[in-house]
Amino acid sequence: MMSYSAGNAEAFETLYQRHKGSLYRFVLRQSGQRSADEIFQDIWLKVVNTRASYQVTASFKTWLYHIARNRLIDQYRRDNIRPVENHSDELDSIESTSFPSPETNLHTQTQHEHLLVAISALPADQKEAFLLREEAGLSIEQIAETCGTNFETAKSRLRYAVKKLQQALLEKTGEKS
């Protein structure tokens, strides 16, 4: 990022390629397919425009997800809604495009679908903590820093999220069986 601030456009491309997938999924899982593209583009434009004021106080990843989180909160306020809890459109797209549904992967794919549904049903703060860990690969300390909370809060949010997801998967498995 410092290299890009100094005027190296290639450095930005490297950064973008490294973080675009995880960031896109982080936004997608929380906002839905319709507004994800716009939010994703806004986040990166914010990075471009604030490159001059960037200071190495934290890792770039933490800074990037902090911007993403703020943009998502703005979106929630703009839409005057609670964070998305049901990704039906996303699930539709997953069903239509991403599932070749071979026999061998059928069980895993089904479980993954159940997991995504369970994630979308999580409370916003727990979902955020879980996605920051799974998509951005942040540690509990970094999650706490990004979310502006303390370590214990971030840890408990993550623990509750995992418990709820397990519970949701067990419920789905029980229903099937």
Residues that bind other proteins (CB under 8 A): 4, 7-9, 12-13, 16, 20-21, 24-25, 28, 37, 40-41, 44-45, 48-49, 51, 93-94, 98-99, 108-109, 111-113, 115-116, 119, 133-134, 162, 165-166, 169
First to last CA, the chain: 51
Closest to other proteins by CB, 86 vs 148, is 86
What one-character-per-residue DSSP string does 68-87 give?
Answer: HHHHHHHHHHHHT-PPP---
Supply 117's token pair.
């549904």
State the nearest-atom distance from the C-beta of 69 to other proteins, in Å.
Answer: 18
In the complex, what is the shortest distance from the CB of residue 80 to other proteins, in angstroms, rounded to a whole number?
A: 26
Q: Which is nearer to other proteins, 55 or 80 (CB)?
A: 55
Asked if 135 contacts 22 with a C-beta cutoff of 8 angstroms, the reply is: yes
Cβ–Cβ under 8 Å, residues 110 and 104: no
